[in-house]
Amino acid sequence: MKKFISLIFFVVLITGDLYSQKDEIYDKYEVFDSHFHLTNYIQKGIDVHRFLEIMGDKVGRSVLFGIPLQQQWSYMNSGEDAPKYYLDSDAPLYYYSFTDAYIAMQYISLTDEEKKRFDPMITGFNPTDMYAADHIRRVLLTFPGVFSGIGEFTIHKEFVSSKIAGEIASLKNPALDSIFSCAAEVGLVIILHNDINKPFPKAYTGNYLADVKDLFRRHPDASIIWAHCGLGRIIQPIKDMAASMQEFFDDPGLSHVNFDISWDEVAKYIVRNDTTVQVVAAIINKYPDRFLFGTDEVAPANQESYLKVYRMYDPLWNALTDDAREKVRKGNYKRLFDAARTKVRAWENANKN
């Protein structure tokens, strides 16, 4: 009997331990970051160990990507004036595939416990190239056990898209479809940046919403996050934005599409006043499974600047239900990226040489 009781005790102890292990990171931290850049437009940034310090006791998990584009330092354009950002020079941007190896090596330098807190993403492909999907598969098989998704990568982005050397990206390019198909087949989360509208829309210009929806509908098996809900520094919400977005929630053909509310430039629209907070909170409270928090910080210097966007959202956090707040901060991240980890590892195992 004594043996039996100690056996029961042992089993409870073990399963209790397994359970707490499973959700240890989830329980211990306040928020997960679904949109984070370790490096900038000239491929410089912070070391992942420094990023862990900055995440501190606040941020439990984060995606990990650089920026797929490199700003060329053209001496003929700017001389000794070395650009650090895409607006600093007229010289072009080009796709910098080495970012994937760099991000993988940063991840590999972590301990097993630390690795659990990151979801590295592949970004170093040209979305107009029919060979882009081959690059993604090659990265996965070169660095198995590392990546959970692709992106943030960009199709339409103010001032950026037109600066990229070579063919202009398009939502209608079959190369983009082959990338989405590859991600769906492997189980990779897709984080896509595509402005919802043109930077300075006119009466005669169209927005990108219909083409975005068509693209997403063509790939119902993909796990998609539309970065910044299509908004940006000068990309304002379109007329009747809430109504235009409703289709994403009503149409089962778009139920695989989620939205991140990352970037201070997006937060500024949402927390502009009580009305904007209430409108957005009502949508998120109604569809709490569809939104993720992200910072969109690029190589932050310290925790205070890293968490600036998180703090900006205080009025929104206060306006959400407990359930919605929990899902936007952590629950949806865990669900999407845990599913991706499982599927991508299985694909890697099935396809290794």
- Site for Zn ion, rule CB under 5 A: 152, 296
Q: How far is the CB of 63 from Zn ion (least distance, A)?
A: 10
Q: How far is the CB of 24 from Zn ion (least distance, A)?
A: 28
Nearer residue to Zn ion within complex by CB, 71 or 178: 71
Backbone CA torsion sign across 75, 81, 84, 88: negative
**Tokens 């190896």, residue located:** 101
The backbone torsions φ and ψ at residue 163, rounded to the nearest 5 degrees and listed phi first, read -90, -10
Nearer residue to Zn ion within complex by CB, 189 or 319: 189
Q: How far is the CB of 120 from Zn ion (least distance, A)?
A: 15
Query: Where does 47-205 show beta strands of DSSP type E?
Result: 59-64, 69-71, 93-95, 118-122, 149-154, 189-193
Find the residue with minimal CB distance to Zn ion. Answer: 296
Distance CA(146)–CA(141), nearest Å, equals 10
Q: How far is CA 191 from CA 50, 153, 188, 222, in A?
A: 24, 7, 10, 11
Rg, the chain, Cα only: 21
Q: How far is the CB of 127 from Zn ion (least distance, A)?
A: 15
Q: How far is the CB of 199 from Zn ion (least distance, A)?
A: 17
Nearer residue to Zn ion within complex by CB, 103 or 281: 103
Q: How far is the CB of 92 from Zn ion (least distance, A)?
A: 20
- Residue 148 in contact with residue 344, Cβ under 8 Å? yes
Backbone CA torsion sign across 124, 158, 246, 279: positive
Q: Are strands 291-292 and 297-298 parallel, antiparallel or unpaired?
A: unpaired
Q: How far is the CB of 9 from Zn ion (least distance, A)?
A: 49
Nearest to 296 by CA among 36, 6, 27: 36
Nearer residue to Zn ion within complex by CB, 100 or 152: 152
Outline where 23-143 has alpha helix (H).
24-28, 48-55, 75-78, 98-108, 112-115, 132-142
Nearer residue to Zn ion within complex by CB, 33 or 152: 152
